[in-house]
Structure 1
Amino acid sequence: MRFRPQYVLTAVLSLTLAACGGGMVKRVSEPAAGIQQLTVANDGSWDVELRLRNYSSMPMRFDDVSLRIKVGDEAAGTLNAAPGLSIGPESADVIKVRLQPASPARIVVADALAGGRSLFYELEGTVKATPEEKKQRSFEVKARNTLNQAPGLPGVLR
């Protein structure tokens, strides 16, 4: 068998090209938001722990959150925050937002707590986030879920 340098060169070039193509693809995915915990304060206001999820393959800085919240069939108000929080790729973090809810929404939450029932909620609005090394973008967010009373913690839904 005779040595053929062109085969060696072709093999080396193929391996080099294959090694170059294995880099991580950076993609920006829409973030999500949900309520992790809702605590009713003594003055009737709510402390809402809002979980922000970054589904992108790169870090994103969450600059502004404006989400209308509805409990049961009642509008409660708008969760507004400017967290300036950086969340790593495919990770989540929690921010706390205080809300003075509308009276009908207070009644819905008080009723769910008194009866030990789950509470249906909806979030709808925008989250402004800045992907790493890119421009800020505004993302539409819609979420629907339920909260349940936290055992042993009066006035707390999770």
Structure 2
Amino acid sequence: MRFRPQYALIALAALALTACGGGKVKRVSEPAASIQQLTVGNDGNWEVELRLRNYSSMPMRFDSVALAVKVGDESAGTLSATPGVSIGPESADVVSVRLQPSSSARIVVADALAGGRSVFYELEGSIGVTPEDRKQRSFEVKSRNSLSQAPGLPGVLR
């Protein structure tokens, strides 16, 4: 059998290409937001613990949040914040946002707390994020969920 340099060259090129293809794919996915906890203050205002979720395969800095909140069927107002928090890949973090809710939303939450019932909520708006080494992007977000009274913590829904 005779040595053929072209076959050795092809094998070497294939090996080099295989080595180049092993890197991790950087994927930017739509972030998510949900209310982790809502605390009704003595003044009637709400302290909202907003859970921000990064589904991307790279770290993302959460620059801005503007989410309209509905409780039951009532509009409560808009959660607006500039958290400036960096969240790792496929991870989440919580930021506190103060909200002065509408009077009709206050009544819905007070009624749920007084009756020990859950209350449905909806978030709709945008989240501005900056993926690692990329330009800032804005994502439209819409989510629905419910909150229930936290046992032993008056005025707290989780």
TM-score (norm 2): 0.94
1:149 match = 149
Output one character per residue of 1:111-153: Cα deviation in whole Å (capped at 9) or x when no partner. 1111111110000011111111111111101010011111111
Q: For residue 61 of structure 1, report the CA deviation from its aligned partner.
A: 0.8
What SS does the aligned partner of 1:150 have?
coil
CA distances 1:46-89 after superposition (whole Å, capped 9, x unpaired)? 00000011111111111111100000000000001011111111
Amino acid at match of 1:18: T
Q: Once superposed, what is the RMSD of the aligned Cα atoms?
A: 1.3
Matching of residues 28-43 of structure 1 within 5 Å:
28-43=28-43
How far did 1:13 drift?
2.7
Find the counterpart in structure 1 of residue 119 from structure 2.
Answer: 119
- Is 1:129 aligned to 2:139, yes or no? no
Q: What's the offset of the Cα at 1:19?
A: 1.5
**What SS is found at the alignment partner of 2:16?**
helix
Count residues in correspondence: 158
Identity among equivalent pairs (%)? 78
Correspondence list, 1:4-83, <5 A: 6-83=6-83
Match of 2:84 in 1: 84
SS at structure 2 position matched to 1:122: strand
Q: Could you tell me how far apart the structure 2 residues matched to 1:40 and 1:6 are?
A: 76
Tell me which residue corresponds to 1:97: 97
Whole-angstrom CA distance in 2 between matches of 1:136 and 1:37: 28
Rounded Cα–Cα distance in structure 2 between residues aligned with 1:19 and 1:117: 58
State the SS of the aligned residue for 1:126. Answer: strand
**Alpha-carbon distance in structure 2 between the residues aligned to 1:29 and 1:152:** 38
Given residue 66 of structure 2, which amino acid in structure 1 is its aligned partner?
Answer: S
1:80-112 residue CA offsets vs partner (Å, 9 max, x unmatched): 101111111111110000111101100100111
Shift of 1:10: 3.3
| Structure 1 gap segments, 5+ residues each | none
**Structure 2 residue ranges without an equivalent (≥5):** none
**Cα distance between partner residues in 2 of 1:127 and 1:6:** 55
